[in-house]
């Protein structure tokens, strides 16, 4: 991409879109288009088409999505399916109509079957039933991959799809009611340290294995893919390394400097025993993650402590 190329980052106020925006700016890209959701409802086909027609971007990063945890996905499945289908359809089709040179569609590791072998390889897509609790979201993300692939096949569009593993970093959600495990652990440890609590309670046995990718590494991978890769199908983005929730909790405790005990409640659900991405495809293409988990947690903790009283942090 030329440094003056017009680039549209859809979803720039989210954790992923924000990281992509920061990375582009750091690399010297000067012609970046953004629209807050208050300015552009991506579910509105006419509005999306009007903006794309007016701006005529050469490149599009599709990082916008309606996201949430298990509770939200289970409670509002119609909203998750409809909103994410409309966002993907409008942006992808609109990009085709105005002649976008290249589009990167971002999805999620939840697209893979619930009982797929570990680690998760790209070819496991559509080989079995999905996890019921986030099926609606996953179906929308699968549809977006299919859209990109079929616009490539039928019209020759250079549309690609990246599927990141569990993400964390600046801009994460620290709300204990609906955040993911890593930011929740940071929040719990910080609160316990400041309130001099002797014990932090943690859901589950601590035995499940999970993989974590810093969102700035994802942004780096997105720029790499946009510049160097052109092929159909999903491309996994992760570290290829996992650890137990227990070990993660111990690491977060050490980084935060909390010296209390950790109490794992095995009566609470653990979820899938293991969820690891096979990242050999992206590694062979020339990209690997660089941010060590401890280093990434230290950065995320610093960001949280700096911003926790601002509107940037979801409480």
Q: Does the annotation flag 13 for ligand binding?
A: yes
Is the C-alpha dihedral spanning 149, 127, 205, 248 positive or negative?
Answer: negative
Question: What's the confidence (pLDDT) of residue 157?
Answer: 98
The answer to whether 37 touches 189, Cβ cutoff 8 Å, is no
- HSE (side-chain half, CA atoms, 13 Å) at 129: 3
Distance CA 193, CA 104 (A): 41
Residues 259-272 as b or e (16 or more Cβ within 10 Å = b): eeebebeeeeeebe
Question: What's the confidence (pLDDT) of residue 150?
Answer: 98
pTM of this structure: 0.95
Q: Does the annotation flag 17 for ligand binding?
A: yes
Q: Using the predicted structure, report yes or no on whether residue 53 has a pLDDT greater than 90.
A: yes
Q: How much is the mean pLDDT over the chain?
A: 95
Question: What's the confidence (pLDDT) of residue 16?
Answer: 97
Q: Does the annotation flag 68 for ligand binding?
A: no
Q: Does the annotation flag 109 for ligand binding?
A: yes
Distance CA 95, CA 198 (A): 54
Is 7-172+211-242+274-292 a domain of CATH 3.30.200.20? Answer: no
Q: Does the annotation flag 210 for ligand binding?
A: yes
Tokens of 135: 């099926």
Q: Does the annotation flag 150 for ligand binding?
A: no
Query: What is the set of active-site residues?
Result: 137
Instruction: DSSP letter for 121, please.
Output: P
**pLDDT band per the 50, 70, 90 thresholds, residue 312:** low
Q: Using the predicted structure, report yes or no on whether residue 154 has a pLDDT greater than 60.
A: yes
Q: Using the predicted structure, report yes or no on whether residue 311 has a pLDDT greater than 80.
A: no
Question: What's the confidence (pLDDT) of residue 67?
Answer: 87
Q: Using the predicted structure, report yes or no on whether residue 188 has a pLDDT greater than 90.
A: yes
Distance CA 256, CA 184 (A): 13
What is the residue extent of each domain of the chain?
7-172+211-242+274-292
SS3 142: helix
Mean pLDDT of 260-270: 92
Q: Does the annotation flag 203 for ligand binding?
A: yes
**pLDDT band per the 50, 70, 90 thresholds, residue 187:** very high
The answer to whether 245 touches 206, Cβ cutoff 8 Å, is yes
Q: Using the predicted structure, report yes or no on whether residue 178 has a pLDDT greater than 80.
A: no
Question: What's the confidence (pLDDT) of residue 177?
Answer: 81
């Amino acid at each position: 991409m030329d440094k003056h190329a017009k680039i549209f980052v859809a979803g720039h106020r989210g954790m992923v879109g924000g990281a992509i925006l920061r990375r582009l700016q750091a690399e010297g890209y000067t012609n970046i288009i953004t629209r807050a959701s208050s300015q552009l409802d991506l579910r509105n086909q006419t509005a999306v088409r009007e903006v794309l027609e007016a701006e005529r971007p050469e490149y599009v990063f599709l990082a916008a999505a309606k996201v949430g945890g298990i509770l939200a996905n289970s409670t509002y499945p119609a909203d998750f399916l409809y909103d994410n289908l409309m966002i993907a359809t409008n942006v992808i089709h609109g990009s085709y109509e105005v002649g976008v040179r290249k589009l990167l569609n971002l999805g999620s590791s939840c697209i893979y079957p619930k009982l797929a072998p570990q680690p998760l390889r790209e070819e496991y897509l559509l080989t079995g039933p999905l996890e019921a609790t986030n099926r609606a979201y996953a179906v929308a993300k699968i549809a977006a991959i299919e859209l990109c692939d079929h616009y490539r096949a039928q019209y020759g569009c250079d549309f690609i799809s990246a599927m990141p593993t569990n993400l964390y970093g600046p801009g994460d959600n620290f709300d204990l009611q609906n955040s993911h495990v890593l930011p929740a652990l940071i929040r719990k440890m910080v609160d316990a340290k400041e309130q001099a609590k002797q014990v932090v309670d943690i859901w589950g046995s601590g035995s499940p294995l999970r993989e974590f990718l810093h969102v700035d590494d994802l942004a780096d991978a997105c720029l790499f893919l946009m510049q160097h890769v052109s092929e159909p199908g999903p491309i996994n983005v992760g570290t290829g390394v996992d650890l137990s929730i227990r070990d993660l909790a111990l690491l977060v405790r050490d980084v935060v400097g909390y010296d209390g005990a950790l109490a794992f409640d095995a009566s609470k659900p653990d979820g899938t025993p293991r969820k690891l991405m096979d990242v050999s495809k992206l590694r062979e293409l020339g990209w690997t993650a660089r941010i060590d988990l401890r280093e990434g947690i230290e950065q995320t903790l610093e960001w949280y402590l700096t911003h926790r009283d601002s509107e940037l942090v979801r409480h």
